[in-house]
Every structure is written in C-alpha cells, then in structure tokens.
Chains A and B, each alone.
Chain A
Amino acid sequence: MKKTISLFLGSLFAFILSATVAYSAANEVRVAFFLEWATPNQEAKVKKVFDDALGVPVKWTNFATGGEMTEAMLSGDIDISYSQGLTPFVNAVNAKAPIKLVDIAVTYGMGNTTCIVSNASGITKANAAQLEGKKVAVPVGTMADYVFKETMKVVGADAGKVSVVDMNPEDGSAALQNGDVAMACLFGGKSIENALKAGTRMLSVKEATDAGISGIDITSVTNKFLKENPGMVQTFVEITHEYNAKFRAGKSNMNIIAKDAAMDLAGTKKQMGGFGFPDAATIKSKYMNKGGILMKYLDVMGNMFATAENPALRNYSKVVTTKYLP
C-alpha cells in the first residue's frame, strides 16, 4: 500500500514539475531557425551580435519544418521562431496557439520553394492533368504545400485527386530521383538542386511570379515572451533589419553565412539572390498594413488550410503586430 501511494505521489510530482518547468522564465533567449535557408542575420548569429545586443545568451536551434517550430514554442522550448513559413504559422494560429507575428523575415519567389516534376514521367505544364492519380511528395502543412496547391490551380490539375505523399524535402528529392513520385514540392537549396538532376520545374520562376505565387517567411514570438521581454523582441528585429540592410548594400560576409547555413558559397549566393529582405518601411506600408500583401496571404492561406476543428480566423490582424519594427 505504501508503495502504491508513493508511486501515485511520484507521478503527481512529475506532472507538477513538468508544468512548472514550462512556465519558469529562463535567462536566455531561445531562437529557432532553418539550415539551408541562408539569411543575412546569420552573420550576426555567428559573431554573437545578438548575444551582445540582448544582453543574455541566445541559443539557436535548427528545425526541419515550421510546424516543429510551433510545437517547440507551445511546449515552451523556443521563444522566437525566425523565418517560420507563413503556412505553419497560419496552422498554428488557426489552432489558437498563443503566438504572434512581429516581422517579415524573407520573401521569396518560386526559386527556393518549388514543385519539380520528374523527367521520366513525361509530364509538363501542358499535360499536367495527368498528375491526377499519381504520387506527389509534399511536406504537408509547409510553404511547399501552399505552393503545390497554387501550382495545381495554375496548371489546371485537381490537387484533391493527386495522391500526396507526406515527405520532408530531403526525402522528397530522393524519392523523385528514385522515380517513386512523379513530382516533388520542396524547399531548401540542396534538396531543390538534387531534385533538378532528375526533373524540371513545373513552373519556371518567372511563370510562378507572374501567377502571383510567392512565399513569405515570418518571425513569430510566443505571447508570453512578448509580454515579458518586449525590449528583447524589438532588439532582435532591429538587428535582423540592420544585417538585412548590410546585405542589400552588398557588405555581408557571405562565407560566414554559407558556413552557418550548411551550404557552399555559390549555392548560398544563388539562394540569397532569390530572397527579398524587405525593410521596415516597406513592411509597414506594403505588407502589414490593412489590405497589405501579408494580410491577404494570411486570409487566403488561413482558409486554404482550415480544418473543421481548426477553422480560419475571422480576422488575422489580431495575430500580427507592427509594434516591434524599427
């Protein structure tokens, strides 16, 4: 009997402990980021500029998808997600996750998130309807998923009839090379590079841009961190913009960025060439304003990925704030 009681108390204790750990404030800032996704502020990351400017150590953790970033934010392991895709963010706020969008990290054309159709399948834009019933590798719930759905609309195929295989970009590009799938929708420099060895883009970068398909990556922060350390969020955003400006002026140290992004120099330059890092004024006037690009995207995507359990929000401006932009 004694043992039963002690076991019961022990498990109860474990429960309480796990609850308190999630709520206690750590004396460091924990940031999530992507590998193979080169951004100018990685120079600041390597040079420990963030640590200096925030006055506390900054711990960077890399993730495979934006959805995992959200999971970590919900469990209290991550404070700031840098360069989270808009799609996972929308999924998170549809599920009422307490996170907020504070900045636009990267805007990009289809060069860096794209659908690549295998050469062996003989499918092109002209006969894209043949994809129906075939297998397509898509990392579900990411920006690539959004690009997949939009691309299908452009080429006139029914995305609902395509058999979607849920795969991460690395696996998707391998599956395309093996001929397991007819098309793979991917993001990330190396994955796209590998996939292009066995396939071609369904839509060229220009065609995609003309069709209005482009991606936005954002910076999201947990509500709790925002309330506790508004100054730190502001500083984080400010440094990011400072290094973005440095990149626009051509003064970034590309070697450092390439190494930190786990890519080679040429690949990094090519990838970043396709990236846009809008400055604060542009974000305020064009993206995050009422009816701005970002707000439209949020509405479209919110409805695209809504489920019965997690319906789209009526108004996404509640989860977006421009307060922290420099």
Chain B
Amino acid sequence: MITGFITFFTIFAVVGAILYGRRLVKTEKSDAVFGNPERAKGGIHWVVVGSSFLLLSWLYYSWDIAKSFYPKSANELCQVAKVNESLLSLKYLFPIVERQHKSTAIIKRENTNIENKIILIKNDSNLKSQDKEIFIDILSSTKLMIPSLTDERYLEDETQNIINQLTARLNKLTENFPKDTYPKLNEEEKYEINEGLKKQLGWGATGMEVPPIPESTRGLKFHAAAAELNSISDEFFEMRNHNPEYLRKSELIFSEIKEYMDGLDDGLELDYIKDIKKLVRRIEYASIFPPKTLDELERAIRSFDKVQKKEQGNLKTIDIFLFPAGTIVASGPQCSEAGPGRWLPKPSDTFRIFGEMLKPSVGYKMIPMLWYEMMGVNRIVGFILPDWIADIMPGKYPVHNQSGTVDPNFKSKILDIVTGEFEAFKIPVPTGHIWDSFLRVFLGLMLGIILGVPLGLFMGLNRFAKGFFDPLVELYRPVPPLAWAPLVITVFGIDNVGKVFLLFMVSFSIMIISARAGASGTQLSKIHAAHSLGASRWQIIREVIFPNSLPEILTGIRVAVGMCWGTLVAAEFLAGTTGIGFVENVARKYMQYEVIWITIFVMGMLGLIFDLTIRKIIDKTIPWRGKG
C-alpha cells in the first residue's frame, strides 16, 4: 500500500521535476556563459529526480512494486516454479533447455572419452603390450555396446510400454489442466492445504520469503500438476533401457574386467582397469535411448509446456515485467526468490527491519545500533588521567592495620581519583554499533589531521623535512591500508587501538600530501607582499601559507573520510565485536540480506553526513575559494 503510493509519488515527482527543470531553463535570464560556476548553482529539482530514480530502481529491482501491486503473484509464481522444477529433469533430456538431446551429448562425449583413453593406453610406455591389448579390447567392445542401447530393434516392449504410459499420463494432464474442474482433490488433501493456509504468512513477512502453499485456484492447479509431473519424472528415471542385448554385452565386459582385476595388485594396471570400469558404468547409468523412442514423450512435454504457459495468463506478463532479472524458483516444497529479489531486499522489508534494529532492546547481537548509556563522570576522569600521577605523589600507599581496616591517606585518595574510584553524577554517553564505527573514523581522522597537517606544511616549506620524511611517507603511502591490517592487528590487538591506528595511517598520508601540496602551491607574490609589510616567519605561516593551503587540506579531509570508511569496514570484518562492518559480516554468514543493505545504507548516510559537514566547513572557512 505505502509502496504503491510511493511508487506513484516518485513517478510524479520525476515527471514534475523534469518539466519544472525545462521551464526553468527557458525562463531563466542568466548572462552566465558556459563554464561559469554560477550555472551549476541551485537545482534542487534535479536532486529530486536523482533520488527518485534511485528509489524507483530499488523498488523495481527488489520486486517491491510487484509485491505491492500484485501481492499474490509470488505465491502463484511459486506454484508455476514447482511445475517448472518438476519438468526440469525431463526437459534436460531434450533439446528444450539445452541444444542437444542428452543421449546425443552423452554418446558424443563418451566416444571421445573412449578414443582418448585408447590413445593414452597406446602411448603409455610403462604398460606391457599384452595389457594394452586387453584394455583396448575392452574399450572397443564398450564402444560397440552403445549401439545396443540406441538400436530400436533391441528396445524391450516393457520399456516402450512404460514410455507410452508416461506419455499418455502427460497428455491426459495436458488435456485436463485447462479445465475448470482440475484438480480433483480428495477431502484429506483439501484439509491439509486449508490447515497449511491458516498458518501461512504473506509474501516477505518475517520468516516467510515466499509463501509456498497455493492460495488461489490458479495456483492450486499448478500445485497439483507439479505433484503429478514429479511422479511421472520419478518413474521415468527409475526406468533404464537395459535390454537383453545390452545386458549380454555389458555382462561380458564386466566379467572380462573382473577376470583381469582378480588377484591384481595395486599399480598402474589397476588404475587403468578401474578407470575403464568407471567408463562402462557411466554408460550403464546414463539414460540413453534410441533416437526416435522418446519423440512422443518430447512432444507431450512440449505441448504441456505450451498449455501451462497459456494457463499462466497475466502471471507471465507480471513475471517478465515486475520480476526483472530473475524469478521465483522452487526447490522441493519450498520456494525462494532467485535474482535481485533475493539479494536486493525490498525497501519496505529493509526499513521495517531497520526500525526493529534501531530499538535499543533489540539492536544486533544484543548491542544497540545507536543509543546512549548513563556513564559516571568518574569513569571518564579515570580514563583520561594517567594512573602514574598517584605514583609520583609523596608518601606511601596505606597498609591495613591490626583492626583489619585500611585508612586512606593523601596518596591513596589521589589514586582513587585517577582510577575513577569515586562517586560522581552520571551523564549520557552514546553507544552502539553506529557510534563505535563513527568514533573510530573520527579519532583516526582527527589524529591524522593533527599530526599530518603540520608535518605536511613543514615538508612543503623546509628542505630537510622534505628530504627526510619523503622516502618514509612515499614508501608507505601507496600500500593499500588493508595490506597493513593483519600486522596492525597483531601489534595493537583487535581492540579499538588497532583499528584507530589503521585509520590514522590512512588519513595521515593523505593529510601530509594535501598540506604539502597546499604549502608549496602558495603564490610567491603573496608571501613577498607579507614580507615587505614586515611579517615574521610565524605570521607568514599563519596568515599567508596556512590559509592558502586550506582548500587543499579540506579537500584532503574529504578524500580521507572516504578512505577511512572503506578501511574501517574491512578492519571490522577481520576482527570485531561491534561496529557496522561487524554487523555486515555476521549478517552475511546468516544470509540476512536486509541487514547487509541496512549497513550499506547506514554507511552511505554517515559518509554523506561527514561530507556535508565538511562542505559546510569549507563554505564557512574558505568562501573565497576559486575566486582569488
């Protein structure tokens, strides 16, 4: 319902925004020539078109449009899929799915295999010529055995009867299938389906990917036909074309093989004869029939296929247009979505699950996505102040006295403060997967900026610094940060320290490069001007060089944010107990595609927020960029 509304709304939005855009171009009186940045200003309506397009393709390719406009279609398509699945084995015998008859393909392949084996045997210098003869003899008679399967004269009446019977059953099904009275179910079957329907949830409900029990009369038809087809298919594959002529020949071959193998020790000969035996067995298993024998059956399958496709009616159109790049497939009594419907969850499901996960009591793996917890100020103080402050205080730590108590002294009181062992009011502190990931990126980025920018400026201004640090930075910079990950995790552990360090390494090199480029790119005339006005070195750096390199630095930060997110998720993949990457990795193992998309969505959102913030900072701090 909501999805349907959104679909229409987005379509209207796209059309409306495009019309508005066209009109705007016509009415706008702008003297800006092509290339003038003024021309790129504004254009919210194009944002609407872009986002709507994104949303529409998501709705379309995740089959959410199909779900909202034809909520019963998945259930019906599931029944169709059952029919298709039950026919699959039989269809593979004929050039319906493949190009060749299966018999043809097998015979062709096995003839090649036999010839290759003969050549191999002939060329093997380790074999005795007398063994060679036996092997080649067996292989040649195997080749001669094939005609006994493909010659119609040898076909047994019994086999022909079974094929005829199955064909007749199939034809009868084809005949009955379009009738309104089909299928005739007995009470027990009806009861079973009705009972199942009571428990069945809708398409896409929690724990129900595709409802498998038929809900409509059309679905019931296909459901019943699938059962009949399955029994036909099973019966067909139980039958083998083992006529007396074939059995005579194969027994001869097998006895020959057995005779040869008797008393044979491990060795080359045994390997050969075993391979040959397998080849013979393979022909025994294969469903090889004379070329014309199965023609009637093939025709029956094709005509049933035609009828069932016709019976699908508008379902076929829905399948083609509303289930793009995939369809519903059946596997036994179950159905599942194959194609984008499987790995691209429906927006409605995704947001429903996201809403569920956002509840702090649910979260993911018992940790909320983003919430707060009350934390005493004492713990924060204890974390910030190093413990050794207490050690350097004068005096000694108290020792317990005879009455069994400990009297605190000045030194121990200091220790209590620096370790956070005191009562204090509590403040809310954010917590959860999203916060953890955010904090790691933020810390890594901040460290990179604080250390990287001064070093970069220094390198841009000083010959020594440039020469000294250049090899170091340039050697580690091109290495993909993830290549460091195993090492960093070994050295700094799997906790936050390792991850933050990895992110620091990423942002550090980027900040150095951008600050350095900014510093060395300052216009000489500006520096000269500052000099002649009597500026000191420090003033030149602060008032001229730093502002001039700000655009480069801020661009560097934007690049670094993106790189940090990429690295963080991979680092959380390697080892993690919290964080967006951890959530995604675990979801992957449980095949929770909705959760995977939620994490991707959250990361996109966080990246966007980061970027928007930096864009705001850029607008505020360097409004003169591009105008100087």
Contacts and interface: CB of A to CB of B under 8 A. Distances in A.
Given A67-B589, A308-B206, A235 B278 contact: yes
Given A19-B339, A223-B331, A175 B575 contact: yes
Interface of A: 15-16, 18-19, 25, 47, 49, 52-56, 65, 67, 70-71, 74, 88, 91-92, 95-100, 135, 137, 140-142, 160, 163-167, 171, 174-175, 178, 180-181, 223-224, 227-228, 230-231, 234-235, 239, 251, 305, 307-311, 318-319
Contacts of B326: 19
A19 B339 CA distance: 7
Interface of B: 85, 88-89, 92, 97-98, 109-110, 113, 206-207, 209-210, 237, 266, 271, 274-275, 278-279, 281-282, 285-286, 324-326, 329, 331-336, 338-339, 342, 353, 365-366, 486, 489-490, 493-495, 574-577, 582, 585-586, 588-592, 594
A181 B494 contact: yes
B332 A318 contact: yes
A178 B325 contact: no
A160 B339 contact: no
A185 B332 CA distance: 35
Nearest to A246: B266
Contacts of A224: 88
Please provide the 3 A-B residue pairs with the shortest distance between their CB atoms, ordered closest to farther: A141-B589, A98-B331, A95-B591
Contacts of B209: 95-96
Nearest to B277: A53
A231 B285 contact: yes
Contacts of B286: 231
Contact of A165 (B278, B325, B486, B577): B577
B341 to A, nearest CB: 12
Contacts of B275: 49, 52-53
Contacts of A235: 278, 281-282, 285
Q: Which residue of A52, A54, A92, A99 has the most chain B CB atoms within 10 A of its CB atom?
A: A52
19 contacts: A19-B325, A25-B97, A52-B278, A67-B588, A91-B590, A96-B336, A98-B336, A98-B338, A100-B331, A163-B577, A165-B494, A166-B582, A167-B494, A171-B489, A171-B575, A234-B285, A310-B207, A310-B590, A318-B332
B465 to A, nearest CB: 35
A308 B592 CA distance: 10
A91 B493 CA distance: 30
Contacts of B98: 25
B379 to A, nearest CB: 16
Q: Which residue of B113, B324, B325, B326 has the most chain A CB atoms within 10 A of its CB atom?
A: B325
A272 to B, nearest CB: 19
A74 B275 CA distance: 32
Nearest to A74: B342
A95 B281 CA distance: 37
A47 B329 contact: no
A230 B237 contact: yes
Nearest to A308: B206
A15 B344 CA distance: 13
A63 to B, nearest CB: 13
B577 A98 contact: no
A224 B336 CA distance: 13
B539 to A, nearest CB: 49
B334 A318 contact: yes
Nearest to A67: B589
Contacts of A100: 331
A309 B493 contact: no
Given A98-B331, A171-B575, A309 B592 contact: yes
A299 to B, nearest CB: 17
Q: Which residue of B98, B331, B592 has the most chain A CB atoms within 10 A of its CB atom?
A: B331
A53 B278 contact: yes
A53 B217 CA distance: 47
Q: Which residue of B274, B282, B575, B576 has the most chain A CB atoms within 10 A of its CB atom?
A: B575
Contacts of B325: 15-16, 18-19
A318 B333 contact: yes
A194 B594 CA distance: 37
A231 B282 CA distance: 8
Q: Which residue of B271, B353, B494, B577 has the most chain A CB atoms within 10 A of its CB atom?
A: B494
Nearest to A315: B333
Q: Which residue of B85, B281, B486, B590 has the most chain A CB atoms within 10 A of its CB atom?
A: B590
A56 B109 contact: yes
A95 to B, nearest CB: 4
Nearest to B116: A52
Given A166-B582, A180-B495, A228 B237 contact: no
Given A230-B237, A235-B282, A165 B329 contact: no
Contacts of B278: 49, 52-53, 235, 239
A164 B577 CA distance: 6
A264 B577 CA distance: 34
Contacts of A140: 585-586, 589
Contacts of B285: 231, 234-235
A309 B207 contact: yes
B89 A180 contact: no
A95 B353 CA distance: 16
B579 to A, nearest CB: 11
Contact of A167 (B97, B274, B365, B574): B574
Given A98-B338, A178-B493, A235-B285, 9 more contacts: A19-B325, A49-B275, A52-B278, A53-B279, A55-B113, A96-B209, A96-B210, A142-B589, A318-B333
B589 A53 contact: no
A15 to B, nearest CB: 5
Nearest to B581: A166
A310 B495 contact: no
B590 to A, nearest CB: 6
B602 to A, nearest CB: 18
Contact of B206 (A65, A142, A309): A309
Contacts of B274: 49
A55 B110 contact: yes
A67 B271 CA distance: 36
A54 B110 CA distance: 10
B332 A319 contact: yes
Given A52-B278, A163-B577, A231-B285, A308 B207 contact: yes
Contacts of B207: 308-311
A98 B576 contact: no
A174 B498 CA distance: 15
Given A96-B335, A97-B336, A135-B577, A166 B586 contact: yes
B574 to A, nearest CB: 6
A55 B324 CA distance: 36
Nearest to B338: A98
A195 to B, nearest CB: 15
Contacts of B97: 25
B200 to A, nearest CB: 12
A227 B89 contact: yes
B480 to A, nearest CB: 18
B575 A166 contact: yes
Contacts of B486: 171
